[in-house]
Structure 1
Amino acid sequence: MSIGRALTHLADAAPDAVAVRCGDAILKRRELDRVADGVARAWAERVGHDDLVTIALPNGIDFVVACVATWKLGATPQPLSPRIGPGERAAVLDLARPALVVDAELVRAGGLVPSDDDTPLPDLVASSWKAPTTSGSTGRPKIVRSTTPATVDPTAAIAPFVPRHAVQLVAGPMFHAAPFVYAMRGLMTGHELVMLPRFDAAAALQAIERHRVTWTMLVPTMMQRIWRLEGREAHDVSSLESVLHLGARCAPWLKRSWIEWLGPDRVVEVYAGTESQGIAMITGNEWLAHPGSVGGAVSGSEFRIVRLDGTVAAPDERGEIVMRRQAGPTYQYVGAEPHVRDGWHTLGDAGWMDSDGYLFVADRLDDVIVTGGATVQPADVEAVLDEHPAVRSSVVVPRPHGDLGQAVHAVVDVAAGEVTVAELAAWTRARLDPEKVPRSWQLVRDELRDDTGKVRRRDHR
C-alpha cells in the first residue's frame, strides 16, 4: 500500500502508540497522521504528484511531519543538510528543482501549520520514495533517486537485519541516507523512534537506558565515542537486542570491543551505499570466524572483485569491488552518471573476497597512497591511530614528496588528550609496516568527522 495509507493503517491499529519522540516532544501515531494530513492539504496547491520536496531541517518532529506530508501528496522527500553552505545548497536545489523547500525559514512562516480543510486526500504513490544527496565529499553533490516506489507493507520487516518491532534510537542526522532509510522504514512498519537532536555519546546511552531502546544503527565514529565515554559501563544497555553498524570500515579492535561488551549475537554489520546497488551483511559470530569481513551478499545482491582489465579476481586477490541487484537498478542519479560496467556497479572501493564468499573492504580507490612504490590504505593507518587512548579520530591523506612521490600524512584529533607526535610515531612504528608510518603530522583538537563518520579528505591533502 502507499506509505501514506500505511501510516494511517498503523494509526488506526494503535492510535496512542508513540511514533516519534525527540527531547521532550512526543507525537503519537494518530497525532502524526492527523497533523501530516493537515500539512499536506496546506501544501496541496504547491506540491503535485511525483514532485520533489526538499526538507532542510534538523532532527526533530518537524522533519518527520514534513516527510509524511510529502508522501501523503504522492511526492518524494529530498532530505538536505540544514548546515550546508550556500554554494552547495544552491547547487543541490538547482539539480532538484523542488516544488517546495521546507527549511527553518518556512517553518517560522507557518509552513508546517495544518490546514483546517478536512477534504480527504487522494491515495497517491510517488514513483520514488526518497531522493537523498550524496555527501559531496569527493566533488559536486548529486541526488540519488530511488527506483523503489513509495509503497510499503506495514506488517513486514524491512530487511533481514532489522527487527519487525523495535524501539529505535535514531542517532545520526536524518538528512543523511542511512539514518533516513532506517528511521523512516522503521516508522512505516511500527517502530517507535527515539530521535537524538544531534549525536552525543552520553545522550545516546541515556536514551537507550531511559526508553528501553531495542535497536539502533551506528557508524564507527559513534561507536568509538561511546566506547571511550567515561562511565559507559554504568549505563544499562540490556534492552538492546541488536546494534547495526555501517558507513565506514570498522577497526578490528573497536569491533571486538563491542562484541565483547554486548555479545556477538547483538552486533551486525552491513556494507552498502546510498544507492543500495548491493548489500552485504555479517553477524558478530560470523565476523569472529572471518575477522575483518563485511559479510556476504543479501537481499538479492551479488558481489565480484575485478582486476584493472575487468577480469574477475581470484579468491583473496585485491581489486575493485563491483555489485548488482537481481531485481535491477535501484537508483537514478540527478547530476551525474552512474559507474556501471556490463550491469555491475561500483562504490569506488577496493577489496577482496575469500574462498567462502565473504567480502573484505580495503579502502576507497581514490584514497590509496602510493609512496615509494608501496601501496598504503589510509584506513589501515587510521585504525591503528584511533586505537590510541588519547586519539578521538584521525584522517590519513597523501602529501607530495620529492623522492617518494607521495608521503603518508596524518591529521589526528587528540581532543583534550596530552600526547606528542613522538609518542604517536612510536605507537604506529610498533604496529605498522615502515611504509605505512606517517612521515608528517598535524595534531588538532577539533572533530575531524561528522556524526556519520564522513570526512572531506580533500580539505586535508
Structure 2
Amino acid sequence: MLIPIADVPRWFTERKPMGTVAVSHGTATLSWEQLERGANARARAFMAKGVKPGDFVAIGLPNGNTFFETTFAVWKCGATPTSLSWRLPRGEAAAVLEILKPALVVGGEADWNAPNSLPADFVPEGLSEQPLDSPVARYWKAMTSGGSTGRPKVILDHQPAVVDTAAEPILGIPKGVSLLNPGPLYHNAPFIASHLALFAGGRVSGLVKFDAEETLRLIEANRVQWVNFVPTMMHRIWALPEAVRNGYDLSSLQVVFHMAAPMPPWLKEKWIEWLGPERIFELYGGTERQGATVISGVEWLAHKGSVGKIGDTSQLRIIGEDGNDVATGETGEIYFLPNDGAGSTYHYLGAEPKRRPDGWESLGDIGRLDAEGYLYLGDRLADMILRGGANIYPAEVEAAVTAHPEVRSCVVVGLPDPELGQRIHAILELVETADAARVVDGMAGLLADRLSRTKHPESYEIVSIGPRDDSGKVRRTLLRDERAAWLKQGRDFRIMTLRNRRDTAG
C-alpha cells in the first residue's frame, strides 16, 4: 500500500503498542506517538512561516531526535527537505542557499543570514498536534554535493515522497529493524538508511557524534541488526583494544554495510574474520542513483578488491578514451544508465551532469570489469579527495587558500592517511616577501569563515616554482604521486602538519 511519507508516523502509531520507541539519541527517546504529534506541530509552525507544497526547506541540525521531527514536518507541508551541516561557514552556506532558494531554513549558524529561518532550539508552542492532510512532495529529498569546479550543487531525487508499506526490504533493511546510525545526517547514506528504517517501522538508534566503543555498546544494548559505516569508522573500531572490541555482544548484527570511500583490503579482511563474511556488504554508487553495485563479504573473498556487480535497475559500461567500450579486464571510465532512461532518477540544481549523447552518465570514476561482471575501482578521474567518507574538491579548498594576499598560487592534493584514507595537503607558491611560517600560522583564521574544518589542509608545502603553468593548468596526479612516494621514503617536504583534527567520522 502506498502512503505519503508524511503519514508514516501516524501509520505506525496506529499499529504499534503505545510507547514503542521510533528514534533515540543517548537517553532521549521519541515514541511513534511523540514523533507524529511533534511533526504535526512543527509542520503548522513551518506553514505559518510561509512553507508551501513544492518548496524546499533547508535543515541545519545536528544528529538528534529533533532532526526527525523536522524532516517529517517538512513532508507534512508537502515540501522537500535538504539536510546541511549545521556548522557550515557563512560562505559555503550562502552558496548552497543561493542555489536552493529554500522557503525556510531550520537551524544552522546565525551568520548564515537566511531571510526566513527558525533557530535550532525552536520548540512549537500553542499549535495543534492533530493529524494533517498532507500533500505529497514531488521530490522526497534534495541532498547537496560539491563539484569539480568547487561550486556546490543540489541533487533532487526524483522519487516522490511516498512509501510502499508492503515493499520488499531495501539494502537488507527488514520490517521492524533495529538500525544504528553512526554517521552525520547531512550525508546522503545516513539520511537514507535512517529514514528507510522508519519507513519500515523500525527503531533508529543514533549517535550524536561517532564514538567507537559507544557504537559497540549500542549494538549490544538495542540488539541492532543493521548498521552502515564509512571505512574510517571501521578503522577506529578495529583500533580499540581487543578486549574492548570483543567485550560486547554483537550477535544481533545481520548486515554491516560500508560505502562512501575505498576500503583498505586488510581492514575488510579483519572485519570479515571478526564478524563473518555473510554479514559484511559494500555499496558503490552516487546520490544520483544512476546505478550502483553491491558485494557481500562472501563474494568479496572470491573477488578481492571488487565493489560488486551492477544491480537490476540499471546498466554499466566501461568506456575508454576513444569513446568505445574497453575489453574485459581493461581500465576505463565507469558509466551508468538507469533502465528508465537518462535523467529518470535525479536532476541537479547548480550543475550539469557528465552525460554522453546516448544518455550514459559518469560519476568521474575509473574501473574495470572481470569476466564475471564484477567491478574494480581505480583512481577517481575527478580530483576529489576522499577524506573519511566525505568528498572534498581541491578547487574549493584552493579558492579559499588563495584568498590569502601572500599566496600566489595553490594546488591541493590528497595524500595517503591510514585512518581517513586521504588527508588534505596544500602546495603553495608565495610572493617573494612572504614569511612562510606566518602565512601557514594564519591560514586557519583565514579559512574559518570560508570552509568547514574538515576541508582545511592538514599539511602545507612551500615551493619556489609555481605548481601551475602559465595557463593555470596543473598535473595534479603527478604532484600527488610524487609526494606519496616521498612519504614512503621518509622525506619531510612539509612546512607544517596539523595533527589535531580527526573529526570527520563524527
**Bucket of the pairwise TM-score, normalised by the shorter protein:** 0.7 to 0.9
* Closer/same/farther in 2, CA of residues 167 and 107 from structure 1, 3 Å limit: farther
Are residues 1:338 and 2:353 paired? yes
Q: Do the aligned partners of residues 368 and 114 (structure 1) sit closer, same or farther apart at CA in structure 2, a change above 3 Å counting?
A: closer
Which SS does the other structure have where 2:9 is aligned? helix
Shift of 1:346: 1.1
Aligned to 1:154: 165
Runs of 5+ consecutive residues of structure 1 not aligned to the other structure: 370-377, 413-420, 427-437, 453-461
* Cα gap change, 1:315 to 1:70, in 2 (>3 Å): same
SS in 2 for 1:234: coil
Distance, in Å, in 2 between the alignment partners of 1:296 and 1:225 is: 28
CA contact (8 A) 2:148 2:384 kept: no
2:448 equivalent to 1:445: no
1:156-214 CA deviation, whole Å, 9 max, x = no partner?
34524333331111100001111101111211111200000011112211211222211
Write the mapping of 1:44-83 to structure 2, written as runs, cut at 5 A: 44-45=47-48, 46-83=50-87
Q: CA deviation at 1:360?
A: 0.9
1:295 aligns to 2:308 (yes or no): yes
In structure 2, relative to structure 1, the CA distance for the partners of 1:211 and 1:137 (3 Å cut) is farther
The equivalent of 1:357 in structure 2 is: 373
Is residue 2:436 matched to residue 1:425? no
- Which of residues 385, 392, 395 is equivalent to 2:423? 395
Q: Deviations over 1:245-284 (max 9, x none)?
A: 1001111111111100100010011111111111110011
Cα distance between partner residues in 2 of 1:102 and 1:241: 35
Normalising to structure 2: TM-score of the pair? Answer: 0.76
Over aligned residues, Cα RMSD in angstroms? 2.9
Residues 303, 323 of structure 1: 8 Å contact kept: yes
Corresponding residue SS for 2:22: strand
Q: Supply the distance in 2 between the matched residues of 1:83 and 1:396 (Cα, whole angstroms).
A: 19
How far, CA to CA, are the matches of 2:211 and 2:304 in structure 1? 29
Superposition pairs of residues 100-115 of structure 1, within 5 angstroms: 100-103=104-107, 108=119, 111-113=122-124, 115=126
Distance 1:451 1:110 in 2: 24
Structure 1 residues 405 and 94, CA, compared in 2 at 3 Å: closer, same or farther?
A: closer
The whole-number CA distance in structure 2 between the counterparts of 1:392 and 1:147 is 32
Q: Per the alignment, do residues 23 and 407 of structure 1 end up closer, same or farther by CA in structure 2, a change over 3 Å counting? A: closer
Report SS of the residue matched to 2:145: coil
Tell me if structure 2 keeps the 8 A contact 1:279–1:299.
no
Which residue number in structure 2 is paired with residue 43 of structure 1? 46
- Counterpart in the other structure of 1:373: none
Structure 2: tracts of 5 or more residues without a match: 111-116, 386-412, 428-466, 470-474
Please state how far the C-alpha of 1:41 moved relative to its aligned partner: 1.6
| SS of residue matched to 1:294 | strand
1:247 counterpart (229, 243, 260) = 260
1:278-302 Cα distance to aligned partner (Å, 9 max, x none): 1110011000000000001114121
- Distance in 2, Cα, partners of 1:277 & 1:97: 25
The letter for the 2-side match of 1:319 is G
* Contact 1:144-1:275 at 8 Å conserved across structures: yes
Mapping for residues 287-326 of structure 1, pairs under 5 Å: 287-326=300-339
**Residue 406 (structure 1) aligned with residue 479 (structure 2):** yes
**1:252 aligned partner, one-letter code:** P
The superposition leaves residues 123-151 of structure 1 with CA deviations (integer Å, 9 ceiling, x where unpaired) of 31100000010156861111111111000
Distance 2:13 2:384 in 1: 50
Pairing 1:94–2:98 present: yes
CA distance in 2, matches of 1:92, 1:396: 23
SS at structure 2 position matched to 1:408: helix
Per-residue CA distance 1:308-356 (angstroms, 9 max, x = gap): 1210111110010111211332111001111111211111001111110
Matched, 1:347 2:349: no
Q: Secondary structure at the match of 1:366?
A: coil
The 5 Å alignment of 1:280-291 reads 280-291=293-304
Instruction: Give 3-state SS (helix, strand or coil) of 1:346's partner.
Output: strand
TM-score calculated relative to the size of structure 1: 0.83
What is the percentage of aligned positions where both structures have the same residue? 40
1 CA distance for matches of 2:149 and 2:501? 19
Report if aligned partners of 1:280, 1:301 keep a CA contact under 8 Å in 2.
Answer: no
Cα offsets for 1:213-248 (capped at 9, x unmatched): 111011111111111122222222122111011001
Instruction: After superposition, give the CA deviation of every residue in 1:431-451 in whole Å (9 maximum; x if it has no partner).
Output: xxxxxxx88567542336722
Count the aligned residue pairs: 417
Residues 54 and 78, structure 1, Cα contact 8 Å, conserved in 2: yes
Summarize the Cα distance change of 1:109–1:257 in structure 2 as closer, same or farther, 3 Å threshold: closer
Rounded Cα–Cα distance in structure 1 between residues aligned with 2:120 and 2:268? 46
SS at match of 2:378: strand
* Change over 3 Å in CA distance of 1:393–1:250 after alignment to 2: closer
CA distance in 1, matches of 2:150, 2:231: 23
Q: Which stretch of structure 1 is more off in the superposition, 69-78 or 134-143?
A: 134-143
One of 6, 19, 22 as aligned partner of 2:22? 19
Counterpart-to-counterpart distance in 2, 1:443 and 1:108: 37
Q: Distance in 1 between matches of 2:249 and 2:213?
A: 12
**Distance in 2 of aligned mates of 1:405 and 1:197:** 39
Q: What CA distance in whole angstroms lies between the structure 2 residues aligned with 1:87 and 1:395?
A: 22
Q: Distance in 2 between matches of 1:167 and 1:118?
A: 27
Amino acid across the alignment from 1:98:
P
Distance in 1, matches of 2:130 and 2:308, equals: 49
Question: Do residues 238 (structure 1) and 251 (structure 2) align?
Answer: yes
Contact 2:173/2:196 (<8 A) preserved: no
State the SS of the aligned residue for 2:132: coil
Q: Give, as a single letter, the amino acid of the residue that structure 2 aligns with 1:62.
A: T
- Distance change (3 Å), C-alpha of 1:157 and 1:443: farther
Does the aligned pair in 2 maintain the 1:411–1:444 contact within 8 Å?
no
How big is each residue's C-alpha offset from its partner over 1:78-110, in whole Å with a ceiling of 9 and x where there is no partner? 111111110010111111111110005666586
Does the CA contact (< 8 Å) of 1:268 and 1:283 recur in 2?
A: yes
* Deviation of 1:31 (Å): 1.1
| Greater shift in the superposed pair: 391-400 or 61-70 | 391-400
Q: Distance in 1 between matches of 2:72 and 2:81?
A: 9
Residue 275 of structure 1 aligns to a residue in which SS?
coil
Judging changes above 3 Å, is the alpha-carbon distance between structure 1 residues 398 and 392 closer, same or farther for their aligned structure 2 residues?
closer
Per the alignment, do residues 116 and 32 of structure 1 end up closer, same or farther by CA in structure 2, a change over 3 Å counting?
same
Q: How much does 1:117 deviate?
A: 3.0
- Deviation string 1:397-441 (CA, Å, 9 cap, x unpaired) is 7965999963535589xxxxxxxx98x537xxxxxxxxxxx8856
